[in-house]
A and B are shown apart, each in its own frame.
Chain A
Amino acid sequence: MNKNIKNIFLLTIILFAAISMNLIYTQLIDPQKVLGRPENLRYILEEAMEPRGEIYSKDGALLAQSKHVGQLYLRNYPYGEIFEPILGFFDPKYGKSGIEQALDNYLSHKKWPGLIGTISRLVSMNLSDEPNTITLTINSRLQKKAYELLSERRGAVVAMDPKTGEVIVLVSSPSFDPNRLAEEWEALSSDEGAPFLNRATMGLYPPGSTYKIITLAAALENKMGTGKTVDCTGELEIGGNKVLEFEGRSHGEVDIEQAFTRSCNIFFALLSLDLGNNLLTSYSYRFGFDRKIPFETPVQKSRLGLEDQDDEVALAWTGIGQAKVLVTPLQMVLVTCAIANDGIIMTPHIIKDIKSNDGKLLQQASSRVLFKALERQTADKISEMMQDVVEKGTGKAASVPGINVAGKTGTAEVGNGKNPHSWFVGFAPAEDPTIVFSIIIENAGAGGVEAAHVFKEMVNEYLKEF
């Protein structure tokens, strides 16, 4: 009989072993088989059971809040598509992006369960479960204006305070209304305009003539190009390849200042040949090319693309912002900030501060130097030349009555018979810059006129604030 009882224990062991095998399969070997099923509500519920923190602009406009819908909290964005490239979206089904993703730790409802929760509640420590409130450095009025000025054209507008690194405007177009994400998801995913792409930080464009700021800076600091004159005939042959002026123009005899204000490609192509590969590369690097730019949301690295040391054609084209050089609009705002801020680039940031539920300041952005790109004198010299661009050069469309502004136009050739992109980078007031812009409008034509127009309107809007 005892043997039989032992056999019953053996039976129990066998049955428990069967259970264990099954558990090992379900929980250890292949949990994804079950978790990946659409019936798994966990991912949705985990995110939408509690309200998230609110997001405000620097001027106090409410940009994102959680609203109770049925049993869930859904995100509401009063500014819709205008702020989508910055805020991103938060959706139980489609996930998170932008600030919603980058600062999820602060925005989400933190849990303090388990022993820590019990003990801390017991000794009545204030262990707040409430999410934090985030304030951005963005000005909602300027942001809205910039979005309207692009008027559904593809492109981006970035504005930054050169002294602090605060990003004031960050617009990318086309955008979409995150409040209607679910209805529009299918259409958005297949939209060839790539509305999910934040062009301001992730879009890579050839900088065109705006790159000449860097070529110029490298030349000035190395005492090259001053006294150099070139007779611009509208075309130049380098190694069997031609560098051309836009629309068959020719500038005649030009020195470095005239070449910059009138944006002479041939002068700058020859200048970059004088500078050589190494100098151009090291100066681009000083401005942040091929470097990681710290920012709250992901930023694409801008790249010079000068790989072949002996490729003179590529070098000449690179010096005027074509060839393989690619930049983000954010990168170009940093380049311009160096000119506006005595050669120093401040770390760009978009979060002003983070406050707890009861208004206690948890984190505050500080102004930190990112790169020292240039000597002060060089920056001042280029600043003067950029004022000339607006005053009497290619950037007249950007001039604002009653205030001195500085800037540089750009035409980024894209080939395939398409219209070139229109660039403008600039700052105001020229004497003591408080705002720097980088504007690109895709396929808006040569000469940077369209972008310069947006700059002008933006500065006008900005001045209303004083």
Chain B
Amino acid sequence: MTERLTEGLLTLLSFFTTSLLFYAAAGATGKIPNIEIILAPVIIFAAFLITGQLIRFFIYMPNPYVLPLVHMLVMTGLSMIFRLNPNLAKLQFNWIHTGLLALILTSLAVRKYKALSNYKYIFGALAFIFIFSTAFLGVEVNGARLWLRIAGMSFQPSEIGKIFMVIFLAGYLSERSDVFSLGTRKVLGIRIAGLRHTGPLVLMWGLSVLLLIFEKDLGASLLFFAIFLIMVYVSSGRLTYIIMGLILFILGSYICYLIFPHIQNRVAIWINPWTYYSGTGYQVAQGLISLAAGGITGRGIGLGMPNIIPVNFSDFIFAAFGEEIGLLGLMGLLGTYLTLIFFILRTAINCNDRFGKLLCTGIGAIISMQCFIIIGGVIKIIPLTGITLPFLSYGGSSMLSNLIAIAFVLSISQGWKTGVE
């Protein structure tokens, strides 16, 4: 079977299963389905098919498993958003197509992704600007400064900022890893890089803490620092950095916890959401009830009551899924994510150059960490931090940047079969 056929058939399989979900969600809205609703899954299917084939015809031969998996996640998310709020689903539908267009354009632009590393400092600067722009210009939504308002549209610049950061780090670490991984001193039997080399680590830590202070955004701060640590670890192979980084992060978080009341509040809710039920704990409490109400098989699409949870279409979409598709459905969802992360990291392994490897790993890490941070927050493993669930949550910035990230993965995966593990 050719790869083209494989990709097409897998997308078709995903189309069949997810359109059933989508039409079930349509039933839940109680509206008589119009032609738009009936055609929506077909249009998205066609868009994914065309995207994949266009890339194959004109650009390169990417890994055929990534796009069908993304299609599956995107359609699953769209179905739930439709069931929760049909108006938002319409916007999300548009964002999916905008995102796919961005994916194609990015693929065209970065045919030779290696060239990106030449501009790493530009990307570094862009990442800094995008991530910190909201600290000075942003508007506060749900207690965090994450949004920029441009021409009437809200835009979350840190979503695209995280991609730029990964490009910068991949470029920086692919050149400097030798120095970076060379321990110059031994302290208590542990080899530690000199101050000059630990400098970037401390700088990154400082930036993360700044993010926490200025934007009150625990989630982004945790995400950026985790991605940084993962990339440094992959590049250097030293667990010491991760351990040092974790200690620094815990230290920084603890200090912030002591200083900032909103972080104390988050932790208090995490420990016991029920005591804060009438106020800030309401969302977490209702999310937990939603999950419990779902049980093993779920209530069925449209039969649960996830509408009780505030912002159910974004940060808490996982809880909404938990109620309606149950434990088995969530396991399937986690399995889909895990498979996608597997193929992304496999692409990194098969890639022959350091920059590609690091870039791809960084993108895999973004998806992996975002999943853990938001799901972990919803199910109360860790304190809740506002962050989107990649491809599933409602949101244009998130959809756009995640699909652009996929463009990089596809680009790096060209000739994926030639790489030997």
A1-20 interface (Cβ within 8 A of B) = 1-9, 11-13, 15-16, 18-20
Instruction: Tell me which of A117-125, A195-203, A216-224, A432-440 binds B.
Output: A117-125
**Cβ contacts B333-361/A at 8 Å (1 or 0 each):** 01001100110010011000010010001
**A8-B365, A19-B376, A31-B295 are known contacts. Are A112 and B289 too (CB-CB below 8 A)?**
no
Residue of B nearest to A129 (CB): B30
* A-B pairs with beta carbons under 8 Å apart, 19 shown: A1-B234, A1-B354, A2-B349, A4-B235, A7-B233, A19-B334, A19-B372, A19-B376, A22-B380, A22-B381, A23-B379, A26-B291, A27-B322, A35-B289, A35-B292, A39-B285, A41-B305, A113-B302, A115-B24
Are A113 and B237 in contact, CB atoms less than 8 angstroms apart? no
Q: Give Cα A438–Cα B289 distance, bound, in whole angstroms.
A: 50
Q: Tell me if B301 is interfacial: C-beta within 8 Å of chain A.
A: yes
Residue contact B305 to A46, C-beta cutoff 8 Å:
yes
Q: Which of B31, B285, B348, B381 contacts A5 (CB 8 A)?
A: B348
Q: Which residues of A contact B277 (CB under 8 A)?
A: 39
Which residues of A lie under 8 Å from residue B245 when comparing CB positions? none
Find chain A residues with CB under 8 A from B194 CB.
none
A28-B23 contact, Cβ under 8 Å, with A18-B381, A113-B301: no
**B165 contacts A by Cβ under 8 Å:** no
- B390 touches A (CB below 8 Å): no
Q: B75 contacts the other chain (Cβ, under 8 Å)?
A: no
Interface stretch, picked from B53-61, B199-207, B263-271, B324-332, is: B324-332
Given contacts A9-B341, A9-B342, A19-B334, contact A115 B23 (CB under 8 A): yes
Decide if A121 touches B27 in the complex (CB within 8 Å): yes
Task: Report whether B375 and A19 are in contact in the complex, using a CB–CB cutoff of 8 Å.
Answer: yes
Q: Which residue of A lies closest to B294 (CB)?
A: A27
C-beta contact mask, A329-354 vs B, less than 8 Å → 1, else 0? 00000000000000000000000000
- What is the distance, in angstroms, from A13's C-beta to the closest C-beta of chain B? 7
A42 and B308 contacting across the interface, CB-CB below 8 Å: yes
A113-B292 Cα distance, complex, nearest whole Å: 21
Q: Which residue of A lies closest to B368 (CB)?
A: A12
- In the bound complex, CA of A330 to CA of B301 (Å): 45
Please state if B327 and A28 are interface contacts (CB–CB under 8 Å).
Answer: yes
Give chain B residues whose Cβ lies under 8 Å from the Cβ of A40: 289, 293
Task: Give complex CA distance A41, B306 in Å.
Answer: 11
Within 8 Å of chain A (Cβ to Cβ): is B28? yes
Question: Interface digits, A76-87 against B, CB 8 Å rule (1 contact, 0 not)?
Answer: 000000000000
Q: Say yes or no: A8-B230 contact (C-beta < 8 A), given A19-B379, A24-B327, A113-B301.
A: yes
Complex CA–CA separation, A113 to B301 (angstroms): 8
A119 CB to closest chain B CB (Å) equals 8
Does A114 have its Cβ within 8 Å of any Cβ on chain B?
A: yes
- Does any Cβ of B come within 8 Å of A34's Cβ? yes
Interface residues of B in 250-300 (CB under 8 A from A): 274, 277, 285-286, 288-289, 291-296, 300
CB distance A1 to B237 under 8 Å? yes
Contacts known (A12-B368, A19-B375, A113-B302); A122 close to B33, Cβ less than 8 A: yes
User: A182 within 8 Å of B by Cβ?
Assistant: no
A23 touches B349 (CB 8 A): no
Known contacts A1-B235, A2-B421, A16-B338: A114-B303 contact under CB 8 Å: yes
CA distance in complex: A41, B379 (Å) = 19
Say if the beta carbon of B32 comes within 8 Å of chain A.
yes
Q: Cβ of A114 and Cβ of B302 under 8 Å apart?
A: yes
Contacts A2-B349, A23-B330, A113-B300 given: A45-B308 contact, CB under 8 Å? yes
* Chain A residues in 8 Å Cβ range of B361: 5, 8
B174 shortest CB reach to chain A, Å: 10
List, in ascending order, chain B residues with CB within 8 A of A124's CB: 32
Rounded to whole angstroms, the CA-CA distance of A316 and B65 in the bound complex is 87
- Report the minimum CB–CB distance from B30 to chain A (whole Å): 7
In the assembled complex, A111 has its CB within 8 A of some CB on chain B: yes
Nearest first, the 6 closest Cβ-Cβ pairs linking A and B are A117-B27, A113-B302, A31-B292, A118-B27, A34-B292, A27-B327
- Beyond the given pairs A20-B331, A113-B24, A114-B302, 9 more chain A to chain B contacts, judged by CB atoms under 8 angstroms and listed by A's residue number, are A1-B357, A5-B234, A5-B345, A8-B230, A27-B294, A27-B330, A35-B292, A113-B300, A121-B31
Q: Is B9 an interface position by the 8 A CB rule?
A: no
Residue on B with the closest CB to A46?
A: B305
Contact of A28 (CB < 8 Å), options: B20, B295, B372: B295
Q: Please provide the chain A residues from 105 to 152 with a CB less than 8 Å away from any CB of chain B in the complex.
A: 111-119, 121-122, 124, 129
Q: Is B77 an interface residue (CB 8 A)?
A: no
Of residues 254 to 282 in A, which have CB atoms within 8 Å of B's CB atoms? none
**B289 to A39, Cβ gap below 8 A?**
yes
Q: Are B237 and A4 in contact (CB under 8 A)?
A: yes
- Residue in A4, A12, A33, A117 whose CB lies within 8 Å of B30: A117
Which residues of chain A come closer than 8 Å to B365, judged between CB atoms?
A: 8
Query: A360 at the A/B interface (Cβ < 8 Å)?
Result: no
Q: Tell me, yes or no, whether B387 is within 8 Å of chain A by CB.
A: no
Bound form: Cα–Cα A13–B28 in Å:
34
CB distance from B162 to the nearest CB of A (A): 16
Which one of A3, A6, A113, A115 has the highest number of Cβ atoms from chain B below 10 Å of its Cβ? A113
> Would you call A114 and B27 a contact (CB within 8 A)?
yes
Chain B residues with CB below 8 A from A228, complex form: none
A464 within 8 A of B: no
B residues in contact with A42, CB < 8 Å? 289, 293, 305, 308
Q: Which residue of B33, B291, B302 is within 8 Å of A23 (Cβ)? A: B291
Q: Hey, which chain A residues are within 8 Å of B301, CB to CB?
A: 113-114
Q: Is there a chain A Cβ closer than 8 Å to B364's Cβ? A: yes
Interface string of B16-49 (1 = CB under 8 A from A): 0000100110111011110000100000000000
The smallest beta-carbon distance between B39 and chain A, in angstroms, is 13
Q: How far is the CA of A116 from the CA of B24 in the complex (A)?
A: 8
A28/B24 in contact, CB under 8 A: no
B332 CB, min distance to chain A CBs, angstroms: 12
CB <8 Å contact, B293 and A4: no
Chain A nearest CB: distance from B77 CB in Å? Answer: 18
> Which of A27, A111, A119 is packed against the most chain B CB atoms within 10 Å?
A27
CB-defined contacts of B33 to chain A, threshold 8 Å: 118, 121-122
